[in-house]
Each structure stands twice: as structure tokens, then as C-alpha cells.
Amino acid sequence: MNMINHKIQTARLIWIIAVALLFAACGRKAAGGVSDAGGQIVLDGNGGELPMPAIPSALNSPDERSSYVAEHFWDAMDFSDTLRSHDSEFLERNFSNFVYLLPYAPASSAEKAVAVLMKRAEADKTVFLMLAGLAEKYLSEPDSPMRNEDLFMFFLNSQIEAGVLDESEKIRARIQLDTAKKNRPGMAAADFAYVDRDGVSRTLHGTKSTGNILLVFYDPECEHCSEITASLAADEMLAELQEKGLLTVLAIDTESDGDVWERTKRDMPHRWIVGHDDNNVITESALYDLPAMPVLYLLDADKTVILKDVAPDAILRELARL
């Protein structure tokens, strides 16, 4: 199936879900779909989507409704029916619909919904592993528009607790979970040493800032890094915040050798503090997860993480809000 077309279909599904959560009562039609005899909403299309569970009329608040749909999303799925459960296209289509829905539900309900799904999937190890792979693809890979570390951690916990996997099969999930737990929002960012453009040795926690800190890990030979840093340097709001002392931009080259660093360090924006991880401590000690450059963090003046590994537009929205 063409993934672009699928994303269009999924976007339509989310609109239908949002309408259903806010306005639909049990047995009532939802925009874009029809109700079957049992009151379940069946989406228009090729029949490849599971029916949405009918929301009990007693559930009135958006949180109650979104929680119910999340926790009962897979009710119509018979995991012993290998004709459907082993159909990778069918499983992926419904998995993507499911994880698009989860952020609408409270975190506790999303966690419960993931646990319910993975527990049921333990009935068939093949399906369980397929779902674990989809969770990594959709929620962890850097280029996924659905990337969500909180949700991915729910799936990792389910893998670690799964009776269907032996201990050797849980090693990867344990490593991934340990990595995900580092530098979470609300935690103090891991300190590290760097050498600035003038050859002065400094540390993250010793870098003075009267405002927030935009921490940029980059590779000077990465074309995408150059595009992102140029875009950030040209942003008027960021420039204004820097001029007013409300923002410090600290860019750290974690990838290049000394020669490349010396050749490129003056190419970075002059307003920024730019440094080099001379001893490769950040990467070799895995202080930060750096899956694909550049990696952006937003810290407060005390070096507490506000946003972890997010896209530039998320940084700009948060700074505008603050």
C-alpha cells in the first residue's frame, strides 16, 4: 500500500475519531462512517480497518471517551485468526490508526491500552514481535512523523514484562528503555565538557545563561544539519530572544574529528556558543541519544530539560509560548 495514500486515509480517520469522541453517542452515526446493527462505527473504505468501539452514552467527557476508544480499540481483533493477524498490511494499517489515537487519551489510559493490546498479542509470538517492530518503526525512528518516546516506552515495558519472550529476547528492549529514560523533560540535562571556538574548555552546566538554552548536537558534514542551523539562525524570534538575553544557543559538534572541527567552527552563527566534544565522551558514554543529526533540546536556565529531541518547529512553538 502506498504510504502517502495511507497517511491521507489516516488523517481522515483521525478527523472521524475526533468528531466521534466529541459528539457521537452510542449507536449514533459519526461523520464519515456508518453504524452497524451493534452500534459500532464502521469506517468507509476497503474494510481494512477495525471498527471503532461504540462509546457508551454514559461517558460524557472527552477524556472518558478517548480513554474508552483507546482501551477497546482492538476488541474486534481475534489474535488467533492468523489470516488477519499475520497480514502485515492489515496489522500495520490498524496499528497506525491506534497510535494516532493514543495521544488524545490521558497517559494512564494510553499506557493501559498498550498493555491490553500487547497482552492479547502474547497469544501469538509472531504477532507480538510484529507489533513490537511496528512500535519501533512508528514511535522511535527519527523520520517518523508519529515519533513519540512516551508511547514507545509503554511498548518497551510490555516487551520486558512479556511472558512470550525469553530473557535474551528482552535485551534490546531493556537497552532501548534505559536510553529513553535519559534526559527526560523535567530532569537535569546530563553535563558534559566541550572546547569552544576559542579553544577554551567549558561544560554545559558551567555555561552561563540568564534564559533558556537551545542545545543543538550537530555534524558539520551533515547537509541536513546545515539546513536546520541556517533556518534557526535566520529566525527573527530566536534572534530577538538572544539579543534580550532570554535565550542562549549552544551547538556541540559530536561527530567530526579535530581537522573538520577547526575548518568548520567559524561557519556556525556568530551569536551561538559553538563547541566540540574533543574526547568523544558524549557519544562513547552515551550521555545523550543521538539517533539522527541534528538533535535539538530545549533547557531552562538551570539546565533542566524542557523539550527532548524535537523538531525545530516544536522548539519555536514552546519558546513563543514561554
Q: For the chain (length 322 residues), average pLDDT per consecutive 10?
A: 47 51 41 37 55 92 94 94 92 95 96 98 96 98 94 98 97 97 98 97 95 97 95 96 96 95 95 95 95 96 97 95 88
For residue 49, the model assigns a pLDDT of 87
* Lookup: cell for 139: 514511535
115: left (phi over 0), alpha (psi -120 to 50) or beta: alpha
pTM: 0.83
Read off the DSSP letter of residue 41: E
200 has which bridge partners?
Answer: none
Distance separating alpha carbons of residues 280 and 194, to the nearest angstrom: 9
Count of residues making up the chain: 322
| d(C-alpha 74, C-alpha 52), whole Å | 9
Parallel, antiparallel or unpaired: strands 305-307 and 295-299: antiparallel
From CA 121, how far away is CA 143, in angstroms rounded? 27
The domains found in the chain, sorted by start residue, are 3-180 (no CATH), 193-321 (3.40.30.10)
Q: For residue 107, what is its C-alpha cell?
A: 497517559
